A = this chain, B = another copy of it.
Amino acid sequence: MSPPPLPRIAILGAGNVATHLALSFGHEVVAQIWARDIVKARALAERVGTSATSSLDDIIDDADLYIISVSDDAIAQLAARLQGRRGLWTHTSGSIPASVLDGVGTERGVFYPLQTFSADREVDMPRVPIFLEASSPEAMDTLRRAAHLLTPRVYEADSERRRRLHIAAVFACNFTNYMWVAADRLLGDDGLDLSVLAPLIEATAAKAVAGNPEAGQTGPARRGDRGVIASHEAMLADRPELREIYTLISQSILNHYAK
| Smallest CB gap from A223: residue in B | B72
A: contact size bracket: 35 or more
Question: How many copies are assembled?
Answer: 2
Known: A121-B203, A176-B180, A177-B204. A127 touches B198 (CB 8 A): yes
Known: A177-B208, A245-B249. A203 touches B172 (CB 8 A): no
A259 CB, min distance to chain B CBs, angstroms:
13
Would you call the interface of chain A mostly helix, strand, loop, or mixed?
helix
Q: Does A248 contact B (CB under 8 A)?
A: yes
Q: Does A216 contact B (CB under 8 A)?
A: yes
- Are B208 and A194 in touch, CB under 8 angstroms? yes
Docked Cα-Cα span, A236 to B256, in Å, equals 17
| Smallest CB gap from A239: residue in B | B167
Q: Does A163 contact B (CB under 8 A)?
A: yes
Q: Which B residues are in CB contact (< 8 Å) with A186? A: 164, 167-168, 171
Q: Does A231 contact B (CB under 8 A)?
A: yes
Q: Which B residues are in CB contact (< 8 Å) with A181? A: 213-214, 217, 256
Q: Does A201 contact B (CB under 8 A)?
A: yes
Q: Does A57 contact B (CB under 8 A)?
A: no
Q: Which B residues are in CB contact (< 8 Å) with A123? A: 199, 203
